[in-house]
Amino acid sequence: MAYWLLKTEPDSYSWTDLVRDGAAEWDGVRNHAAAAHLRAMRPGDRALIYHSGAEKAAVGVAEVTRAARKDGADGNWVSVAIRPVGPLPVPVTLTTMRADAALATMAMLRQPRLSVSPVSDAEWAAIAGDGAAG
């Protein structure tokens, strides 16, 4: 299993929306590096849902339920399907992430504009813990 971080503007689509919907198509990603990460996702992978904007915090855990498929007419873009697993016990803020030495090389902190990025096993454990919301 691989781990990922998916950023979303909570005013557009929030963790609460994902829980309400029970599943979502993670589409609309229009960055080549982020799209490459979506292509690498496999069913069963886990993803942190991160609220950008004013909140700036990881708030929940989702599971990838379908691998990448074409998103739109341009073959460069893809989407994956996800479902909520559970909320993090406490949201993990960007400030907390930046202060944690275990996360110093985390892709999201090095490339903050990426909307989809990988998370290492150690980074996952530092943010989501070993239980990881289910």
Residue 110, token pair as written in the block: 């090095």
pLDDT tens track for 50-84: 999 999 999 999 999 999 999 988 888 999 999 99
Residue 123 reports pLDDT greater than 80? yes
Residue 60: CB atoms within 10 A of its CB come to 23
Residue 132 reports pLDDT greater than 80? no
Residue 129 has what pLDDT? 84
What is the model's pTM?
Answer: 0.94
